[in-house]
Amino acid sequence: MQACGTTTSLVKLPQSSPLLPSFVFTKLQSSNTEGDFPTVLTHKGVSVTLENNSVWKQFHSCTTEMILTKQGRRMFPYCRYRLSGLEPTRMYSLFLSIVPVDQYKYRWSNSKWEPSGVAEHYNQGLFRAFSHHYSPSQGSALMTSLVSFYKLKLTNNMNDQEGHIILHSMHRYIPRLHVIPVVDGEISLPDKLAFMGPECLTFIFPQTEFMAVTTYQNFRITQLKINHNPFAKGFREEGSCSRLNRIITEVRHVAKAGDPIPDVKSEPNIPLVYRKRWSFTSETSLPVKQISLEVCFIY
């Protein structure tokens, strides 16, 4: 399989069609509905397996959050699929688009997400789609290896020229995998509109929906990101993070002031990666305070 350059193109979505098919859940799900999520979707003989389904389900139970930055931030979890049922000798293009789940903007209030207004509108109904770096390829090649979109980046820069997926913060989104057979050797170019015709197969896994944010709102999501994300390694090592040093400074200030120390409890079944106990002696007549601080960060 020969790797091609990673690109994006614009995908035009019909204005008359609903945002999502009816099988996608429209309510924020809780952990007791995890068993309802499909691991494999099949359409017209082509099957797609969400290979990292177990990780997505853990995040979904807390309502997954994805960070947006001006420069672009990679998703975690990212979308990783296994395909079967393709015609071995036929060429296919693979795209991933990310579209709104509903027409609302959200806010984090009282430890939960709730609608706060009408969603921002996209210009002319056009959404960027991310082309897989092995696309186009023969069906046989796509079925013998995993299809991962780990290179995809999310941004809130409406003027982005780097090909990142542009999203609005505090909005709810879901990824869609598009499997497009190449017809008569014609390959969609990055600067060309790709129309979703009858040949296109689209697969949507409800457990991959997420909230786009600029900072994490739910502490449990921060914990999960560190537990599972290999790029968070630096935050697991003592003394390797300047943000950790700032937290220690803040704790020293609390010890001097004699303020009560907030009790940060770990969530059940989600072990904290970094846990340490410090002792600080105040410069006044205050007694020595034993401060138990649990620290979690994410890159």
User: Which of 24, 88, 80, 34 lies closest to 57 in space, CA to CA?
Assistant: 34
- In the chain, domain spans: 7-217, 232-295
Per-residue model confidence as pLDDT tens digits over 100-142: 999 999 999 999 999 999 998 765 445 788 999 888 999 999 9
From residue 17, alpha-carbon distances to 138, 175, 196 in Å are: 30, 17, 12
CATH match of 7-217 with 2.60.40.820: yes
Residue whose entry in the numeric block shows the structure tokens 């009858």 = 198
DSSP 46-73: EEEEETTHHHHHHHHTT--EEE-BSS-E
User: Which of 123, 119, 145 lies closest to 134 in space, CA to CA?
Assistant: 145
Sign of the torsion formed by the C-alpha atoms of 239, 243, 244 and 249: positive
Per-residue model confidence as pLDDT tens digits over 191-227: 444 556 678 899 999 999 999 999 999 999 999 999 8
Per-residue model confidence as pLDDT tens digits over 173-192: 999 999 999 887 666 554 44
Does the model's pTM come out above 0.75? no
